[in-house]
Amino acid sequence: TPLVNEDEVQKLRVVTPFPAPRIMDLPQFQGEHKESLYWGTYRPQVYFGVRARTPRSLIAGLMWIGVKDGRYFLRHVCQDSDGLNTYGWTRHNGRDYGNQVIVDQDVTLTTSFLKSKEIGSGFGGDWAVRIDAQKEKLDEEIWRTGHLFFYLADEEGNSLSVGRERIDSRDGSLFASSSRKDVGGWELHLVSEDNLEIHYSGFKTPHMHNLTELVEGTLGVQARRTGLLQLPDISDHSPNVLVFQVSAKFPFKTDIAFVSGTGLKSSRVEERVKILTGNPLSSQLSEKEKDFEEKYKRCFNLTDKVDSESMIVGRAAIGNLLGGIGYFYGQSKIALPRDSSSKSGDNFVPYWPAELYTAVPSLSFFPRGFLWDEGFHQLLIWRWDIRICLDIIGHWLDLMNIDGWIPREQILGSEALSKVPEEFVPQHPTNANPPTLFLVLHDLVRSTKSNTFTASESKEISYFLDRAFTRLEAWFQWFNTTQAGKDASSYYWHGRDKETTRELNPKSLSSGLDDYPRASHPTEQERHLDLRCWMLLAADSMHSISELLERKDNLGKDYKAMAELLSNVDILNQMHFDNVSGAYFDFGNHTEKVRLRWQEMRTSGSNYAGRELVREVLETPKLRLVPHIGYVSLFPLIMRIIPPGSWILEKQLDLISNKSTLWTDYGLRSLAKTSSLYMKRNTEHDAPYWRGPIWMNMNYLILSALHHYSREDGPYSIRAKSIYGELRENLIRNVVNNYVKTGYLWEQYDQKNKGKGKGARPFTGWTALVLLIMSESFAEV
């Protein structure tokens, strides 16, 4: 008998890292680079939080008491239900400066973050936070006092000491101190000109995901005992969490400075605290603000392109994308293939413990990494800070397993886990997600050639690509084999549910377009047009990267041949084009005659047990093109496969500009109004998602293509240009109007309801692409 059975081998394989040197071990990511990015606002799940890029960090965060309808609420983790009027970074440079405005009813909190240049000490440098609290109405006495809670917690469990018996903030009082391996001795000081009342409690706990409950509970007990909204000045023995309550009459301001590497003779703590508080802090903040403004103008060149309102939205878009960058550490939960005959009953295995530095789609709803979102994020970020961009992509590629697979959604650590319903946690090793990182890599290769970067940046890009190359090859191979279809050069998103009895159309989460309608009956004969086009992008990028690196092996040639095959219009048309409607479609086993119907449920004893919606198929499906017009149908245009002189281009422009199919005054619909599944629910609980609403990432790609065709000689360039102009204006106007009205960027925009923002908010992931739309910076494909 074998030592390990097939299942065991499979289990181990799935969670085996790709056997190549890690990208993050490259010298360019060590030393000064690493230290300069050590501390940051890397906790996107809380309104304000600081941590270091290390698995078990010292973390800091802010809570405050909000008042709504005469009731108190503790604010901490970004939650939509808090109903804040607005929050988010108005500016953030991703490195050492950020400015956030939080409006909670009539209270405005401004949080500023600054890191000092003191790097090279090996301790990651110092940082400061300024919290400015204002209140509009100062009517009743009891509402005049504001309560902030600033906490420090050591994830490693090191105990923290409180500075003094009695804390007085006037002359830069020492709040807390301790030491750690990474930062040496450290001290936290608080400075304020205002009359603050300060209390603190200390806790010993290994749990960082429920600090809110800890403080809430403590406050509750104390309030019942004393009638006061006040932390008791007591502490567990050797606490690793310290919470400081700062109470004062509005308006008030407080500065908090963190200094590391203390305890040495030369550490000049007093001087460093002075520089990070009071007037010196004010002037450094305004200096940083000026730098930000200059860089914003330089990077995106907006001055003659958009109005002042758009400038504000663009600033918030890039600021929030950069300010939302997080650092996570933990293990993904991997689901083993369903048909596995394992009798152990345990169908999950943990991935290896891994770190991820990444931007996130939404602070409140999805504060974690998503693979295909990240490609869109990086289209903005590389233009702002190429080193941050490479660092993020490097982290993602280091998550690849031995098969070349990268899990799509990264739920790492208990804080991230606490935000996700259990059924969404497991990641499936059979499932893909669009390889949008190639959008960025392709762009980088092009920009390197056109001298966009400094010499040292260009060098780092090629070292990066050189180290990344074997991983990219494995990624490509993984797609090319596991997602291949039955027919030559066809592909389909694996992982759709063939046996569904509830879904109107089985979803393909792996495509990123979730409920976008595909063949009604998933089979191996399916061909997905979007995936085929993503493969073209991947092959093309691999080719251009191998050219840049001057790889002499044949592989470069193979990628070229493959790209040529995938961009061959005749083959594409044979597989995906419908001559009658002049549109491109998926192909598969399909019938249009599917619907959902209410059915009575009975218990085993035949008693009525309520109703449920079930799927009803009224006709035998057959192999055919799947006649839904929407984002997927435009992929050959997006990837610029259609020759500029082709009548098919005219047809595509028709689909785009026609109000009864895709066009609205607010952007392009995800699914045409004429589609049989337009705005149809997928199950009782699944509202339409990619079946009508307007999404910025796809609008950006389509707009890029229109921009491209408007500059190609041909009979349709003038028409492409005018559609481009109108679509661009519509997208910008609508996102800006919504921001002005609601204070947020949104996940999607309603194609029916005057372009109203819907879904998650704030959503400054790919919706931030509106900034590239303003600046007319488009990705090469």
Query: Which residues bind to ligand 6A9, rule: CB under 6 A?
Result: 361, 365-366, 370, 372-373, 419-421, 424, 512, 514, 765
Burial class for 620, CB neighbours closer than 10 Å (0-12, 13-18, 19+): exposed
Q: Which is nearer to ligand 6A9, 209 or 551 (CB)?
A: 209
In the complex, the smallest distance separating the C-beta of residue 86 from ligand 6A9, rounded to whole angstroms, is 20
Helix (H, G, I), strand (E, B) or coil at 22: coil
Which residue type does 608 have?
Y
In the complex, the smallest distance separating the C-beta of residue 675 from ligand 6A9, rounded to whole angstroms, is 18
Q: Which is nearer to ligand 6A9, 292 or 678 (CB)?
A: 678
Q: Which is nearer to ligand 6A9, 250 or 695 (CB)?
A: 695
In the complex, the smallest distance separating the C-beta of residue 226 from ligand 6A9, rounded to whole angstroms, is 36
Burial class for 351, CB neighbours closer than 10 Å (0-12, 13-18, 19+): buried
Other CB atoms closer than 10 Å to residue 270's CB: what's the count? 11
Residue linked to tokens 């469990």: 157
Give the active site residues.
Answer: 514, 747
Distance, first Cα to last Cα, the chain: 52
* DSSP assigned state of 615: E
Which token pair is 630? 């929407």
In the complex, the smallest distance separating the C-beta of residue 52 from ligand 6A9, rounded to whole angstroms, is 26
**433-447 b/e with 16+ CB inside 10 Å = b?**
bbbbbbbbbbbbbeb
Distance CA(403)–CA(710), nearest Å, equals: 41
Distance CA(154)–CA(62), nearest Å, equals: 15
In the complex, the smallest distance separating the C-beta of residue 252 from ligand 6A9, rounded to whole angstroms, is 34
Helix (H, G, I), strand (E, B) or coil at 709: helix
Q: Which is nearer to ligand 6A9, 124 or 693 (CB)?
A: 693
In the complex, the smallest distance separating the C-beta of residue 368 from ligand 6A9, rounded to whole angstroms, is 9
Other CB atoms closer than 10 Å to residue 679's CB: what's the count? 15
Question: Shortest CA distance to 153 belongs to which of 193, 205, 111, 109?
Answer: 205
Q: Which is nearer to ligand 6A9, 69 or 422 (CB)?
A: 422
Other CB atoms closer than 10 Å to residue 570's CB: what's the count? 8
Q: Which is nearer to ligand 6A9, 87 or 516 (CB)?
A: 516
Residue linked to tokens 């970020």: 381
Q: How many helices (H) does the chain have, and how many strands (E)?
A: 19, 31
In the complex, the smallest distance separating the C-beta of residue 366 from ligand 6A9, rounded to whole angstroms, is 5
In the complex, the smallest distance separating the C-beta of residue 50 from ligand 6A9, rounded to whole angstroms, is 24
Q: Which is nearer to ligand 6A9, 275 or 694 (CB)?
A: 694
Q: Which is nearer to ligand 6A9, 81 or 604 (CB)?
A: 81
**Alpha helices (runs of H) in 171-259, residue ranges in sequence order:** 211-226
Which residue type does 9 have?
V
The dihedral built from the CA positions of residue 274, 277, 282 and 284, taken in this order, carries a sign that is positive
User: What are phi and psi for residue 100, nearest 5 degrees?
Assistant: -120, 140
